Structure 1
Amino acid sequence: MDLLYKIFIDPFVQMGGAPDLLIQTLWEGLVSGVLYALIALGFVLIFKASGVFNFAQGIMVVFAALTLVGLHSKGVPAFLALALTIGVMLVLAFGVERLMLRPLVNQPDIILFMATFGLTYFLIGLGEIIFGGEPKVMITSELYLPKGALEWKVFGGFVSFQKIDIAAAIIASLMVATLAVFFQKTRIGRALRAVADSHKAALSVGISLEQIWVIVWFAAGIVALATGIMWGARSDVSFALQILALKALPVLILGGFTSIPGAIVGGIIIGVGEKLGEFYWGPLLGSGIESWLAYMIALVFLLFRPQGLFGERIIERI
């Protein structure tokens, strides 16, 4: 009985007894959720264009952030280093299209999926050769990202808002909204949706798969760069960040692999859910709950809606 009380009642008593801590937890979960949504967006863009889960998206986050920091460490001004890093992601997009996607077109999806594994380890090796394996400090001040915190007095306590978290939430939200509008309202967006529906049908109406793939991988590279800057500003830039990017998998399960709105909603659910779980249920279930709770939420969700909140239900007639 005591265990049931600790699981089902005590956490909610704590929430009501200290609403300022609840607001603090919800805010931190919201920021994490928006950044998870930004990571998931890179996966969604590539999956919509090729039907392949891009396992390399995580290392693209690390590689973009390392390129930015590495160029600046060589004496390149911060914003010039940012522009050059964007150029590197464009070169990567062309290279992936020419050397990986084009030779494997019309191959089974598992072949392309395994190719992204190869791309992952290629970028890991290249990154370690060029930049080394030690953690780097993100050039936060040089990019004029804010530091410090704001405090809000509420319910007899204080809620602290880190300025970098506010900037991260705003920048990530703007990027997600911009990309959503771009792919929903523009000609390229319509072409992307056509490619997602059928490669052969898209080719028959004159849509170039090569151009679409370059655009999509470049967009995913820009998303990876923004993600690397935001997460790197909150911690260090290291190869451990690619593990964080795998949090996009439960986000995609919740939202649907082809839905941009789903990436947003799924990211917020996972971000807020794992923060609440860590703070209120973590002491009961043991430390480290934040590392696995997102996957448990996704597993439970799969039992009731396998296609995700915004995914398409696939019906096959036999």
Structure 2
Amino acid sequence: MSAMKSSGRLFTIGLVASWYSSNIGVLLLNKYLLSNYGFKYPIFLTMCHMMACSLLSYIAIAWLKMVPMQTIRSRVQFMKISALSLIFCASVVSGNISLKYLPVSFNQAIGATTPFFTAVFAYFMTLKKEAWLTYMTLIPVVTGVIIASGGEPSFHLFGFLMCIGATAARALKSVLQGILLSSEGEKLNSMNLLLYMAPIAVVVLLPATLFMEENVVGITLALAREDIRIIWLLLFNSALAYFVNLTNFLVTKHTSALTLQVLGNAKGAVAVVISILIFRNPVSVTGMLGYTLTVFGVILYSEAKKRTTSK
């Protein structure tokens, strides 16, 4: 029995390690491609990610049968999934654009404010009020980012606004997902939701890429003739983007939502340290203090929510 228990624990540790490495890996690779390598096409990069998610989701569900295939029941449900896909697109594209201008450390500090936006959207869209203590914990979350912004040596206003947009869109998607797909007949697990959202995202991103990043395919092929690494980097990066979603689903399945939150907070901090070591972007004491305050606020927020839900 204890052997089974320890192998189960090892499996969970392996899952969390895979989730961490794929998550941080995609973030660092995106940063490397978009700013260090000079591949200045964030919309095309997002489209590559979505194409990989479409293909690999289909393989995982239809062939490998990792989860049962769930079908779309109605046109209304399809419209809801399409709306979620558009918001998902907006969050990923904005996040990738922000990486072009901001260091990963600052990007993660802003990303940590997701609970603030989630609470705001939940309040306005569902009129669901949290306990006042929960709202109080959001003060350090926001204050930390304001301090980090003031102390960020590589601050870039457009990049900052894009990152705020990405964070808000991520929060909006999670709130909307809860509202739109809450009825029993419409519930989709995240693997199936990605299977339907990713192709819709490709359809949206294709004209956007052609219009806003013209001749990107030609430029990529020309780059590949000089340096074939770009093709391998794009393929690996896209596969990794799917792996982030897959490991996120598996970690949620094998642990609890709260564990996921705690691990998520720690993941941001790990990403910050690794990115500073790799990219050697300048960091100020003020910036790090601000980021620490934000993470501390997020931990308090998780605790406050846990107390109010367990009552």
Whether the TM-score (by the shorter chain) exceeds 0.5 is no
**TM-score, normalisation: structure 1:** 0.28
More helix per residue = 2
**TM-score, normalisation: structure 2:** 0.29
